[in-house]
Amino acid sequence: MNELMEARIELGFETDSIESLAARYRSAKPFPHIHLESFLDPELARELAQEFPRTGTAAWTQYKHYNENKQGLTKREQVPNGLGRLIDELNGPEFTASLSRLTGIPNLIADPSLEGGGLHQSGPTGFLNIHADFTVHHHHPHWRRRVNLILYLNEGWQENWGGAIELWDRGMTHCVVKIAPLLNHAVIFSTDEDSYHGFPDGLTCPEGVTRKSVALYYYTEEMVVSARSTNYRARPADARSKAALIWADKQAVSAYSKLKRKLGLSDNFASSLLALISRSKE
């Protein structure tokens, strides 16, 4: 499996094409990004989709509050073998160096702890409101978040089920790009204070079907970094009441993010409290 993995990843970042890919990436709107429609060897992608673990075990963190409804598996040792080897490959020095060339951001650092990343999964009604990501690693105060890589592993996904990642303009006036979460499609994009994205409408996939993805985040080490938690935003068409709840939940997320950094709280602890707050508002 490693040989297939390495071969297909290298094809995506060949020396003679990296500059054209980089030009596409850096000129993309509404912020630098690239959509790769065949990221891995197709056979490997299908194998990894079939290996993707079901939810319902203690390994999965419940990210369920007003601004999102999904689950995450962030502990590398609990990731199945093939998916774990893929994560190791994408966090390795060779791929990280290629990512720096693609994005134009030198000295990118991979995150072996998979903070907030790893495996993500959402079932029917799952969603993630439009947001810009947290800016600083919760346990490395000099790590500034710079790049997201999301690989989708949804064989047979129907686009009318929703779940497309939406990239919004920096003024939050309209969605500029929508990319369906299809098998073996990957999206790489730069993260900054106003790189707004998400899949804000509840999924309509059948029971037993989930939206599956591998999410990896990359950082740069800097002496001074301004820390800000995930910045959820209302859409122009959202009702005032919904916008107010999005804002209130964002403040709760910000408060718990500060506690998490200070006290070393786990995602399970914080997300349980946020879910309790969310239920009390309903």
Read off the pLDDT of residues 115-154 as tens digits, 9 standing for 90 and up: 999 999 999 999 999 999 999 998 899 999 999 999 999 9
Measure the CA dihedral 50/51/55/56, to 10°: 120
d(CA 145, CA 134): 7
239: tokens are 């009702």
Check pLDDT > 70 for residue 275.
no
Average pLDDT on 82-99 reads 94
Q: What's the pLDDT band for 281 if we cut at 50, 70, 90?
A: very low
| pLDDT (tens digit per residue) in 171-217 | 999 999 999 999 999 999 999 999 999 999 999 999 999 999 999 99
Q: How far apart are CA 195 and CA 132, in angstroms?
A: 5
Whether pTM exceeds 0.85: yes
The percentage of residues in the chain with a pLDDT greater than 70, rounded to a whole number, is 85
Q: Decide: residue 23, CB within 10 A, 0-12 exposed, 13-18 middle, 19+ buried.
A: exposed
Judge contact between 110 and 203, C-beta under 8 A: no
Sketch the domain layout of the chain as residue ranges. Answer: 2-281
Whether the pLDDT of residue 276 is over 70: the answer is no
pLDDT in tens, 35-52: 999 999 899 999 999 999
pLDDT at 21 over 50: yes
pLDDT tier, 238 (very low <50, low <70, confident <90, very high otherwise): very high
d(CA 195, CA 189): 9
pLDDT in tens, 143-178: 999 999 999 999 999 999 999 999 999 999 999 999
Higher pLDDT, 11 or 27: 27
Longest CA–CA span in the chain (Å) reads 56
Q: Which CATH number fits domain 2-281: 3.40.50.720, 2.40.30.10, 2.60.120.620, 3.40.50.40?
A: 2.60.120.620
